[in-house]
Amino acid sequence: MGKATVQFRSCEGSRKVHFESSAPADFRVGKDGVVYAARSFQLSPEPTRFLLYAKDKETQEQWEVAVKLVPDPENTEKEQKKMDDIVFPRQQNKHSGHLQRQKRDWVIPPINLPENSRGPFPQELVRIRSDRDKSLSLRYSVTGPGADQPPTGIFIINPITGQLSVTKPLDREQIASFHLRAHAVDVNGNQVENPIDIVINVIDMNDNRPEFLHQVWNGTVPEGSKPGTYVMTVTAIDADDPNVLNGMLRYRILSQAPSTPSPNMFTINNETGDIITVAAGLDREKVQQYTLIIQATDMEGNPTYGLSNTATAVITVTDVNDNPPEFTAMIFYGEVPENRVDVIVANLTVTDKDQPHTPAWNAIYRMTSGDPSGRFAIFTDPNSNDGLVTVVK
C-alpha cells in the first residue's frame, strides 16, 4: 500500500490547518490533508482503524475523524497482478536445435525476505515465467535446499502460474540465504528453458539479545595503579547480523560496589569491552575487591530500541609493598645462658599492613649495631613473621 485517498476538506480554504495521525509509524498526513502509508505493509482482512487530528493554527480549533481502511478486492487483485515477475532469459536456437544461453550473463537480483514474518502463509514472493508460455503449456518447479532438499517445503511454486511462495517464517540465525534453481518444462517434461538461479536473502531482525561469554568475569589490578591502567576485557556476542545495527554492541558500567573512594573507579570502552582505571586511590588495605555490573546493548547501545543483557565483573586489588613493617615496641628484652648456642633469647614482633604471607609482608631482620663479634643472628618465623634472636656462637 502506498497512499490512501482520505482527505480533510474545509469550508474555508484559507484556514491554516495542521494535521496529525494517531499512528505516525504507519500513516502520515501531508500539509494538504492527504493520508499516506508511512511504510509498506499488507492490510489484514480485518479493518485497520486509526484517528486523524486537525488543528487550526490561528484559532486553535480542533477536529478529529476516525479512519477505517478495508482492503478493496479489486485493488488487491490488481496488486497481485503487479507482483514482480522473474522471466527466463531469451534463448537463441542454434542449427543444432539445442537451447543456448544468450552471451550476456543473466543476473537476477536477489529476493530479500525479512525473518520472522507473521504471514499469512503461504506468502507470495514473485512470479517466475517464460515468454514461451504464450505458445506452450508450461510447468514450473524449483529445486535446492529449502524446496525439494532439506529443509524441504519452505518454498513452493505453483506449477501452472509460476507463483513462488514461502510457507513459514524464516530464521536468519539458522539459514541466512537460500539458493534455488527455477525450471520450466513442457507438459511432456521436456526442458524449454535453461534453469535460472534464484537467491533469497533472509533479512535480519533484532530478535536476539547480546549474550556474555561468561556471567562472571574475574580480573586483577595492582593497588596504587595510575588512571588508564588496563584491568580486563569482557565480551558479549549477538546472534544477529554483526554488519547491521541489530548485532552492533555497546558496553557500559551500570554499577560499582563498593563506591569508595570514588563511585567511578573504572570505565569501559563501549566498543571493545576493555575495562581500565579512571581514578586514583586503589588501596588494597581499604578495599580488596570491586564488583561491577556490566551491560551490553545492541542497536549500538540505543536505550529505546536495543536489547540488553548484563554480567558481573569482579576486580581484585592485588597487593604491592607499600607498607613498611613496624616494631610493636621500641625495646625488647631477653636472657641468654652462658656456653649455649642455638638458643632463642628474644622474640621481635612486628606488624605489616600488606597481605600476609606474601613477599611484601615477609620481614627480614638484621642487626645494625651492638654485636661486633657476631654472636647473635635473627631468623624470621615464617608463620608469625616474628624475629627470633638466636645465639649462634
Which amino acid appears at position 10 of this protein? S
> Which cell goes with 154?
519452505
Provide the residue-wise pLDDT of the chain in tens; the chain has 393 residues: 444 544 555 544 566 777 777 776 677 777 667 776 765 555 566 677 777 778 777 787 877 788 877 766 555 444 444 558 889 887 655 444 455 544 444 578 899 999 999 889 999 999 999 999 888 999 999 999 999 999 999 999 999 999 999 999 999 999 999 999 999 999 999 999 999 999 999 999 999 999 999 999 999 999 999 999 999 999 999 999 999 999 999 999 999 999 999 999 999 999 999 999 999 999 999 999 999 999 999 999 998 889 999 999 999 999 888 888 999 999 999 888 888 889 999 999 999 988 898 888 999 999 999 899 889 999 999 999 999 999 998
pTM over 0.75: no
Count other Cβ atoms within 10 Å, centred on residue 303.
10
Helix or strand holding residue 76 (H, E): helix 73-81
Helix or strand holding residue 278 (H, E): none
pLDDT at 45: 62
The answer to whether residues 200 and 167 touch, using CB atoms and an 8 Å cutoff, is no
What span, in angstroms and rounded, lies between the C-alpha atoms of 27 and 36? 6
pLDDT at 62: 78
pLDDT at 340: 87
Query: ∠276-280-282 over CA atoms, to 5°?
Result: 85
Sheet architecture: strand order including 177-186:
111-114, 196-203, 177-186, 138-143
Count other Cβ atoms within 10 Å, centred on residue 338.
5
The answer to whether residues 50 and 67 touch, using CB atoms and an 8 Å cutoff, is yes
Burial of 24 (0-12, 13-18, 19+ CB in 10 A): exposed
Q: Which residues of 45-69 are buried (b: 16+ CB within 10 A; e: fewer)?
A: eeebeeebbbeeeeeeeeeeeebeb
Burial of 73 (0-12, 13-18, 19+ CB in 10 A): exposed
Which amino acid appears at position 386 of this protein? D
Which amino acid appears at position 92 of this protein? Q
Handedness of CA 139, 145, 149, 152 (dihedral sign): negative
pLDDT at 91: 62
Q: How many residues make up the chain in this entry? A: 393
The answer to whether residues 238 and 221 touch, using CB atoms and an 8 Å cutoff, is no
pLDDT at 167: 97
> Which cell goes with 102?
544468450
Give Cα 288 to chain centroid, integer Å: 33
Question: Comparing C-alpha atoms, which of 190, 186, 188, 146 is closest to residue 164?
Answer: 146
pLDDT at 47: 74
Which residue, chain included where needed, has cell 521436456? Answer: 190
- DSSP for 231-273 reads EEE--EE-SS-TTSGGG--EEEEEEEES--S-S-SEEE-TTT-
